Amino acid sequence: MQPKLKKSLIYWAMLSPLVVVILFPFAVMFVTAVRPRDELFVYPPRWGFSEFRWGNFAEMWVKTNFGEALFNSLYVSVLSTALALVLSIPAAYALSRYRFPGKGAYRTFLLMTQMMSPIVLVLGLFRLMVALGMVNNLNSLVLTYAAFNMAFTIWMLQSYFSTIPRDLEEAAWIDGASHFTSLVRIFLPLAVPAMAVTAIFSFINGWNEFVLALTMIRSSDDFTLPVQIYSQVAGRYQVEWHHVMAGTVLATVPVAIVFSWLQKYLIRGMALGAVK
């Protein structure tokens, strides 16, 4: 056996317990999603089943209003991510390029906000949205998620921005470019990996958030995916687990697509952002 192949087999053998732990919940979800309904309540439970019921996904889509919930989650996650990035880039650039009084205190404040759970603020945020007339409005989630994500995105971006040589901008200034022109044409293209990394994490935070969505949204037509899936379980005399698991499987697809699309930027951004 070749040494490289032997090392690969050893590494995979060491990683196999972790792979099993990670994939086991997804295996349970998928098996339950494609199992016939009559076999879900058999005791004792068994892994084997008579047939694959791919029609469970179509039934779930119609009966659980999954399409509208999917659109609502995409709307909230994409807009909150874009808003957080647009507002965070100038702040992160200022932290990485300029000196000003209170800079250290501001960075400490950003870290402290990451230690605070949204549950602590949920009552105050709800009363604020009531005063603004934005309860049961998806835009209330967009603003709230963007606000919570900004501390993380500013911290991540300024750490990466500090690795970009200032000489590149100074050369552009000497050639007659303004600060804004050098920022847009020189600086930001080099920061695409960092922006991709922060966009991924911000998108996931908005996609998976549950407590604020459950508090702010009252109408079932405006439910996001976590709340919509929860509504299929809470307060039900009998839970249609094949529909719940089918919805959960489909809910993981957009995140997987985002990861696959931005994977190369994710690796570059995490590697370069760790170097100072």
Structure-block tokens of residue 118: 């949204």
Tell which residue, 241, 256, 257, 253, has the closest CA to residue 53.
241
Q: How far apart are CA 227 and CA 189, in angstroms?
A: 37
Helix 192-208 and helix 138-161, axial crossing angle in degrees, nearest 10: 150
If you ran DSSP here, which 8-state letter would residue 237 be given? S
> What is the pLDDT, as a whole number, of residue 196?
84
50/62 Cα distance (integer angstroms): 24
Domain boundaries 66-274, CATH class: mainly alpha
7 contacts 220 by C-beta, under 8 angstroms: no
For residue 115, how far is the Cα from the chain centroid? 18
Q: Which residue has the tokens 């249609």?
A: 240
Tokens (6 digits) for 203: 């998108």
Contact 207, 255 (CB under 8 A): yes
Tokens describing residue 146: 């963007």
Q: What tokens appear for 187 in the block?
A: 């600086």
CA atoms of 265 and 234, how far apart (whole Å): 39
- Preceding peptide of 44 cis, ω within 30°: yes
Beta-carbon count within 10 A of 33 CB = 23
What does the alpha-carbon distance between residue 70 and residue 65 come to, in Å, rounded to a whole number?
A: 9
Going residue by residue through the chain, which has 276 residues, state the pLDDT in tens, using 9 for 90 and above.
567 777 888 888 888 888 888 888 888 888 888 888 777 766 655 666 666 778 888 888 888 888 899 999 999 999 999 999 999 998 898 888 888 888 888 888 887 877 777 778 888 888 989 998 888 899 999 999 998 899 889 988 888 888 888 888 888 888 777 778 888 888 888 888 888 888 888 998 999 999 899 989 988 888 999 999 888 887 667 778 888 888 888 888 888 887 777 666 666 555 554 444
| CA 109 to chain CA centroid, nearest Å | 23
Integer CA distances (angstroms), 260 to 63, 67, 119, 196, 267, in order: 30, 22, 31, 12, 11
Distance of CA 128 to the CA centre of its chain: 25
- Whose tokens are 């989650």? That residue is 73
Instruction: Of 223, 252, 188, give the one whose Cα is nearest residue 27.
Output: 252
pLDDT value for 276: 44
What is the per-residue pLDDT for 43? Answer: 60
Assigned token pair, 66: 């999954």
User: Which pTM was predicted?
Assistant: 0.82
Domain positions in the chain: 3-56, 66-274
pLDDT the model gives residue 265: 65
CA distance 174 to 188: 19
Phi and psi torsions of 100, nearest 5°: -155, 155
